[in-house]
A and B are shown apart, each in its own frame.
Chain A
Amino acid sequence: MMIEALIAVALIGALVTFMAPNRIAGKLAFAISLVPAALSIWMFTAFDGSGNALLDGTLAFESHLEWIQLGEYSISWFVGVDGISLPLVVLTTILTSLAIMSSWTPIDDRESQFYGLILFIEANLIGVFTALDFFLWFIFWEAVLIPMYLLIGIWGGPRRKYAAIKFFVYTNVASLVMFGAFIALIFGLGDGVTSFALPEIANAMLNGGPEGLFGLEGTTLASVVFIAMFLGFAVKVPVVPFHTWLPDAHVQAPTPASVLLAGVLLKMGTYALLRFNFTMFPDQVEAYAVPIAAIAVISVIYGAMLALAQTDLKRIVAYSSVSSMGYVILGLVAYTQFGVGGATFQMVSHGLISGLMFMAVGVIYNATHTRLVTDMSGMADRMPVAVGILVAGAFGYMGLPLMSGFAAEYFIFFGAFGADFPYAPLFTSLAMFGIVIVAGYLLFALQRAVFGPYELETDYEVSRAPLHDIAPMFVLLGLIIALGVAPDLIFQMITDAVDPILSGGDL
């Protein structure tokens, strides 16, 4: 019942915060959020699962209750974690707590609603990473959108309505495509499947696959569903060319929403790709490896090139997320232990590093009320600690060894270089050029904004950031270095869950 406890605390906490007075809402929400954080860390230490959740693995903290009978299909409350999902759950709970603390300074309007929505998102995110019934999973998946839509639309910047609607409609349309495709697949699987439980569906897919539907052959149906679901998740990740909602959403979103958006929401897309496309469709992965690898390389390079053209610090970090997510796709399509494991590792690592970067940019924004690198110079002079952390985060983003980003990228590169798909070494080498461009745009931004003589175009008096702005960043930096020095804190757990995928369920 641990997972239920996590979700329930966050949900009830959200309600309580909604009704709390504005002035205590921030502290209250933070205190509440510590409960799921502590519980999930305990789950992490007590984790006793093995194998993959969908492929006959031993689930940890499993609970399975029949819920609704829908015609021939049963829907159940079915949750549990394996080595892939648990690190993401811990990432979610920790990042939520830190994001709440980082909101204390910038959020000064309708606080109780703001913090309530953050906790509501947390509950749904935990649901997404733990649900093992498609229907249940989809409810959480969709429910994440609503609070994020409100966070951007109410507390966002000048173009918040445009950004919020774009985010909502774009990802929602994508979800519809994915949903339709998956339902078609379930019908196509015929009598072999009697519930929406993902392990059952995965099993059916790996033992024979769909029989066919609407006059389509089984294999054709599988390919169509694979592509449709890939497109559906691609928007969420996002991969080029479905990425344009992301910079708009990030630039308009308040800092804590950006932290969660980049830190966790993007991982929903890659997590779903791994759980659905890359677990259930090994034949299609093999067949479409080259185009997917090409998309990955384009996302990495093109995303990085876009980041290079920006002058808004938040846009830079936003586009760099597109680039980083490209690495995840490359790792997935490599279909090797280090590739897929590294992709999962990168999900966690990028969550921490991008969270740190958005917080650091946010702290500078709180002080200067601008994010344009052209409007400021020499901020290191006035905010040495915050800038020090920003520099550390930037090097983390560049993949500096002994920080988690390097471990993630190295795993992916190593896993992809020796992969089986055609021209794997070439694709990998091309994607690796991202490590040069990322250094280019981040160092260029640092040079202009935080170094040089102190100048500021706005009329604000810059002072040092308060401790509650700095503390969450130190926590993230500590985690980033810990995972960089000792990736096996989570990597062995991840590969244990990845191995059954690569062997097609036989272990």
Chain B
Amino acid sequence: MEGAFSYAPAIAAFPLAAFVVALTFGKWMPRKGAIAGIAATAGSLLFSLWMLAAVASGEVYHETLYEWTAGEAAGEVGDGIEFTFGILIDPLSALMLVIVSLVAFLVHIFSLGYMNAEGETGLPRYYAGLGLFTFSMLAFVYADNLLMAFMFFELVGLCSYLLIGFWFRTRSAPSAAKKAFLVTRFGDYFFLIGVVAIAATFGTVAFAGDDSFVAAAETAIADGDTLFGFDAQTWVTITGLLVLGGVLGKSAQFPFHTWLPDAMEGPTTVSALIHAATMVAAGVYLVARMFGYYALSPTALAIIAFVGGFTALFAATMGVVKDDIKQVLAYSTISQYGYMMLGLGVGGYVAGVFHLMNHAFFKALLFLGAGAVIILMHHEQDMWKMGGLKEKAPVTYYTFLAGALALAGIIPFSGFWSKDEILYDALIVGLNEPVIMAAYAMGLVAVFFTGFYTFRMVFLTFHGEPRSEAAEDPHPVGWAVKVPLLTLGVLALVAGVANLAPVAKILGVDIVFLEHWLDGEYGAVEGLTYSAYGELLAYETGVIGSEQLTILVAAGLSLLLAFSGAGLAWKLYNVPEPVAHKERLGSARRTIENNYYQDEYQVWLARGFTLPLSRAADRFDQTVIDGSVNGISTASLFGSSWVKRLQTGIVTNYAALIVAGFIALLVFLGVYGGWF
């Protein structure tokens, strides 16, 4: 399989080519560029599967392809430094390549039914955007160094800006696009400082190998070095947290989550891509990619875990009061990425990656399902105007239900297995670490809310009686919509088989394929395996009674909560004529409906603080600074206006002055020259 890897660049190059083709020739192509995009992502998917097979056969690939630039490193090391583009294909990136290209491929197909069939204008721009998006994400996924990862991370941000703002003739879409870019840029500011700091500290930005910054950091900590005035451990924590800024922005974690719900202004297909496989996934993937670095810093990990647990709960509570089907899904995304952060933060590398994969499938499914609902409903997104779609659109209903069961974490759907594994990992660490215990508790409570909002959405949309004309007479959907839904529906059901950890431990059978995969039992790059990370982690784990009992307690608790949440939704909303029941929230209602005023304070920071400050600076500049410049010129003009009075323009005056001057000169020369 050695030869397979020489085709690795093509995985990203295909969608890049599709971008160029759709942008330049899309107007004249049948389907306005869709075919190019479908062909390109199909190619990427096939090649990614090929890479997966190659890794399964024991090979890995780590190759520098292109030197961007090189020079002398300043700072702590002072040797040469190279900034390169290279490809790293190991179990993690091979898996992610397949996920990304699969979701991108299905989104392209779905777009035929969602965008083309609906007579959209600007389709070449749309498909060009999707192509560039897929390209950036795939290149980010197999980047072999931090700078390259940052560069494509930023390009992912650009693409989300372009696609969220696709309907630029509205007022809201450009505003949402700007917000998405700006909030994530704020996170990326910290990320870029982190990149610069890591490069300046260790003289390398490579993820893997003996000369990686992870290895250099490990050595520095072992040697007790002082870096930039801090001890090595602290400096690793600081730089790790700086990089984390970018992660929190892109993965929409608290307090940078505010852009994501607004991003629903983009086409639903774009939301599917952003939430499942590209933009938002990029943040968490980066933590997994440089997990060895975070493993060196217990503080950074604890912060990741706590922010994750908090975000999981925080976003889930906001999801329960939303009326727009896409808004519910948006908050569920924030919450689910919180779980992944929690998993990674407690050292559950396999669990976090497992949930990243499962979530990619079921969230793509749910968004595409929501897209199908929106087609059915003639572009209505308010769930209170839906109802009764179950019988009229069975394919959409049953696939959506599969996604919902996975999201809510109901056994045996995929989401249950990965979420359970995260919570289990958090619990056993939490038994010794109070902070982690708090994070675990928040994650656990969030399970209840997840079950509730998910099934509230399902019941309101599909059950009961139709509550509008559109719901009574839905628009039919075609094969381009159904095929992606069915594919993802199957995956949402069975993807959990990849890692049945609790079953494995209780029954003692070896069915944790993903763990073996990530542990490099096939192919792996040294230092980038689950067990290598395990050696770096400083966490102690505990059990309640025995390991089996702990597993049962953890799984039982989360299942119980998921069922209660779903059950409550059943009771309240699975009725012929449901009502909102929002008054039951009492005084909390306004706070939750306003999203805890998170948007308000961030908008205030931009509009109420920064903008007036800039206007004040402008006034200061006009009056004080420019005023002094003009003041000096006025003073000199004023002075010269006195001097110029000598210039009367009257010839006799000049003649008199010349004569007077001549006489004065004569007298002067006479006195000093000795004429007299």
Interface residues of A (CB under 8 A from B): 166, 169-170, 240-241, 244-245, 302, 305-306, 308-310, 334, 336-339, 341, 378, 380-381, 395, 398, 400-402, 406-407, 410-411, 413-415, 417-420, 425, 428-429, 432-433, 435-436, 439-440, 443-444, 446-447, 451-454, 486-488, 491-492, 495
Residue of B158, B175, B633 touching A395 (CB-CB under 8 A): B158
- Residue picked from A410, A433, A486, most chain B C-beta under 10 Å: A410
Residue of B169, B189, B615 touching A432 (CB-CB under 8 A): B189
State in angstroms the CA–CA spacing of A336 and B286 once bound together.
30
Residues B617 and A302 in contact, CB atoms below 8 Å apart: yes
Please give the number of chain B residues whose Cβ is less than 8 angstroms from any Cβ of chain A in the complex.
53
Known A244-B621, A417-B75, A452-B168; judge A435-B185 contact (CB<8 A): yes
Residues B196 and A417 in contact, CB atoms below 8 Å apart: yes
Residues A418 and B73 in contact, CB atoms below 8 Å apart: yes
Of chain B, the residue at the smallest CB distance from A170 is B629
Q: Smallest Cβ distance from B171 to chain A, in angstroms? A: 5
State in angstroms the CA–CA spacing of A310 and B606 once bound together.
15
Residue of A244, A454, A492 touching B625 (CB-CB under 8 A): A244
Residues A419 and B68 in contact, CB atoms below 8 Å apart: no
Q: Smallest Cβ distance from B147 to chain A, in angstroms? A: 8
Q: Smallest Cβ distance from A312 to chain B, in angstroms? A: 12
Q: Smallest Cβ distance from A394 to chain B, in angstroms? A: 11
Residues B182 and A443 in contact, CB atoms below 8 Å apart: yes
Residues B189 and A433 in contact, CB atoms below 8 Å apart: yes
Known A308-B614, A440-B182, A454-B169; judge A336-B74 contact (CB<8 A): yes
Residues B74 and A339 in contact, CB atoms below 8 Å apart: yes
User: Which residues of the partner chain A approach B231 to less than 8 Å between Cβ atoms?
Assistant: none
User: Is B469 part of the binding interface, using a Cβ–Cβ cutoff of 8 Å?
Assistant: no
State in angstroms the CA–CA spacing of A453 and B182 once bound together.
22
Q: Smallest Cβ distance from B76 to chain A, in angstroms? A: 7
User: Is B155 part of the binding interface, using a Cβ–Cβ cutoff of 8 Å?
Assistant: yes
User: Which residues of the partner chain B approach A240 to less than 8 Å between Cβ atoms?
Assistant: 625
User: Is B420 part of the binding interface, using a Cβ–Cβ cutoff of 8 Å?
Assistant: no
Residues A308 and B174 in contact, CB atoms below 8 Å apart: no
User: Is B213 part of the binding interface, using a Cβ–Cβ cutoff of 8 Å?
Assistant: no
Residue of B165, B181, B192, B197 touching A425 (CB-CB under 8 A): B197
State in angstroms the CA–CA spacing of A432 and B169 once bound together.
33
Within 8 A of A (CB), among B53-92: 67-69, 71-76
Q: Smallest Cβ distance from A28 to chain B, in angstroms? A: 33
Residues A306 and B621 in contact, CB atoms below 8 Å apart: yes
Residues A401 and B155 in contact, CB atoms below 8 Å apart: yes
Residues A407 and B185 in contact, CB atoms below 8 Å apart: no
Residues B75 and A305 in contact, CB atoms below 8 Å apart: no
State in angstroms the CA–CA spacing of A150 and B171 once bound together.
42
Q: Smallest Cβ distance from A184 to chain B, in angstroms? A: 23
Q: Smallest Cβ distance from B468 to chain A, in angstroms? A: 27
Q: What are 30 inter-chain pairs, A to B, with CB distance below 8 A? A: A241-B625, A305-B613, A306-B617, A309-B614, A337-B74, A398-B185, A402-B151, A413-B192, A417-B74, A417-B197, A418-B76, A425-B197, A429-B193, A432-B193, A432-B196, A435-B188, A435-B189, A436-B185, A439-B181, A440-B606, A443-B161, A443-B178, A444-B178, A451-B165, A452-B170, A452-B171, A452-B174, A453-B170, A486-B68, A488-B69
Residues B69 and A407 in contact, CB atoms below 8 Å apart: yes
User: Which residues of the partner chain B approach A452 to less than 8 Å between Cβ atoms?
Assistant: 168-171, 174
Residues A436 and B74 in contact, CB atoms below 8 Å apart: no
Residues B73 and A487 in contact, CB atoms below 8 Å apart: no
Per-residue CB proximity of B158-181 to A under 8 Å, as 1/0? 100100010011110111011001
- Residue picked from B71, B151, B152, most chain A C-beta under 10 Å: B71
Within 8 A of A (CB), among B331-348: none
Residue of A308, A418, A429, A454 touching B75 (CB-CB under 8 A): A418
Known A446-B174, A452-B170; judge A418-B182 contact (CB<8 A): no
User: Is B118 part of the binding interface, using a Cβ–Cβ cutoff of 8 Å?
Assistant: no
User: Is B200 part of the binding interface, using a Cβ–Cβ cutoff of 8 Å?
Assistant: yes
Q: Smallest Cβ distance from B614 to chain A, in angstroms? A: 4
Of chain A, the residue at the smallest CB distance from B624 is A241
Residues B71 and A341 in contact, CB atoms below 8 Å apart: yes
State in angstroms the CA–CA spacing of A432 and B165 once bound together.
27
User: Is B116 part of the binding interface, using a Cβ–Cβ cutoff of 8 Å?
Assistant: no
Residues A337 and B186 in contact, CB atoms below 8 Å apart: no
Of chain B, the residue at the smallest CB distance from A345 is B69
Of chain A, the residue at the smallest CB distance from B200 is A418
User: Number of residue pairs across A and B with beta carbons under 8 Å?
Assistant: 146
Q: Smallest Cβ distance from A497 to chain B, in angstroms? A: 13
Shortest Cβ-Cβ A-B pairs, 10 listed: A418-B75, A418-B74, A401-B151, A451-B174, A418-B200, A309-B618, A308-B614, A244-B626, A336-B74, A309-B614
Per-residue CB proximity of B544-587 to A under 8 Å, as 1/0? 00000000000000000000000000000000000000000000
User: Is B154 part of the binding interface, using a Cβ–Cβ cutoff of 8 Å?
Assistant: yes
Per-residue CB proximity of B460-480 to A under 8 Å, as 1/0? 000000000000000000000
State in angstroms the CA–CA spacing of A411 and B199 once bound together.
11
User: Which residues of the partner chain B approach A454 to less than 8 Å between Cβ atoms?
Assistant: 169
Residues A336 and B72 in contact, CB atoms below 8 Å apart: yes
Residues A443 and B181 in contact, CB atoms below 8 Å apart: yes
Residues B169 and A309 in contact, CB atoms below 8 Å apart: no
Residues A337 and B71 in contact, CB atoms below 8 Å apart: yes
Residue of B74, B147, B182, B611 touching A308 (CB-CB under 8 A): B611
State in angstroms the CA–CA spacing of A474 and B629 once bound together.
39
User: Which residues of the partner chain B approach A436 to less than 8 Å between Cβ atoms?
Assistant: 182, 185-186, 189
State in angstroms the CA–CA spacing of A18 and B165 once bound together.
48
User: Is B228 part of the binding interface, using a Cβ–Cβ cutoff of 8 Å?
Assistant: yes
User: Which residues of the partner chain B approach A400 to less than 8 Å between Cβ atoms?
Assistant: 154-155, 158
User: Which residues of the partner chain A approach B613 to less than 8 Å between Cβ atoms?
Assistant: 305
Per-residue CB proximity of B184-212 to A under 8 Å, as 1/0? 01101100110011011000000000000
State in angstroms the CA–CA spacing of A310 and B193 once bound together.
28
Residues B610 and A308 in contact, CB atoms below 8 Å apart: yes
Q: Smallest Cβ distance from B165 to chain A, in angstroms? A: 7
User: Is B455 part of the binding interface, using a Cβ–Cβ cutoff of 8 Å?
Assistant: no
User: Which residues of the partner chain A approach B189 to less than 8 Å between Cβ atoms?
Assistant: 432-433, 435-436
User: Which residues of the partner chain B approach A306 to less than 8 Å between Cβ atoms?
Assistant: 614, 617-618, 621
State in angstroms the CA–CA spacing of A491 and B83 once bound together.
13
Of chain A, the residue at the smallest CB distance from B77 is A418
Residue of A310, A418, A444 touching B618 (CB-CB under 8 A): A310
User: Is B384 part of the binding interface, using a Cβ–Cβ cutoff of 8 Å?
Assistant: no
- Residue picked from B181, B193, B610, B614, most chain A C-beta under 10 Å: B614
User: Is B133 part of the binding interface, using a Cβ–Cβ cutoff of 8 Å?
Assistant: no
State in angstroms the CA–CA spacing of A425 and B194 once bound together.
11
Q: Smallest Cβ distance from A225 to chain B, in angstroms? A: 23
Residues A414 and B69 in contact, CB atoms below 8 Å apart: no
User: Is B150 part of the binding interface, using a Cβ–Cβ cutoff of 8 Å?
Assistant: yes
State in angstroms the CA–CA spacing of A223 and B281 once bound together.
54
Residues A453 and B169 in contact, CB atoms below 8 Å apart: yes
State in angstroms the CA–CA spacing of A439 and B606 once bound together.
12
Known A305-B617, A440-B606, A488-B67; judge A414-B169 contact (CB<8 A): no
Residue of B68, B74, B197, B633 touching A415 (CB-CB under 8 A): B74
Known A244-B629, A306-B614; judge A402-B155 contact (CB<8 A): yes
Residues B174 and A401 in contact, CB atoms below 8 Å apart: no
Per-residue CB proximity of B638-657 to A under 8 Å, as 1/0? 00000000000000000000
State in angstroms the CA–CA spacing of A381 and B168 once bound together.
9
User: Which residues of the partner chain B approach A425 to less than 8 Å between Cβ atoms?
Assistant: 197, 200, 228
State in angstroms the CA–CA spacing of A52 and B54 once bound together.
50
User: Which residues of the partner chain B approach A447 to less than 8 Å between Cβ atoms?
Assistant: 174-175, 177-178
State in angstroms the CA–CA spacing of A417 and B76 once bound together.
10
State in angstroms the CA–CA spacing of A398 and B633 once bound together.
36
Of chain A, the residue at the smallest CB distance from B615 is A309
State in angstroms the CA–CA spacing of A395 and B181 once bound together.
11
Of chain A, the residue at the smallest CB distance from B617 is A305
Known A309-B615, A337-B72, A452-B174; judge A413-B182 contact (CB<8 A): no
Q: Smallest Cβ distance from A95 to chain B, in angstroms? A: 24
Residues B69 and A439 in contact, CB atoms below 8 Å apart: no
- Residue picked from A432, A446, A451, A495, most chain B C-beta under 10 Å: A451
Of chain B, the residue at the smallest CB distance from A414 is B196
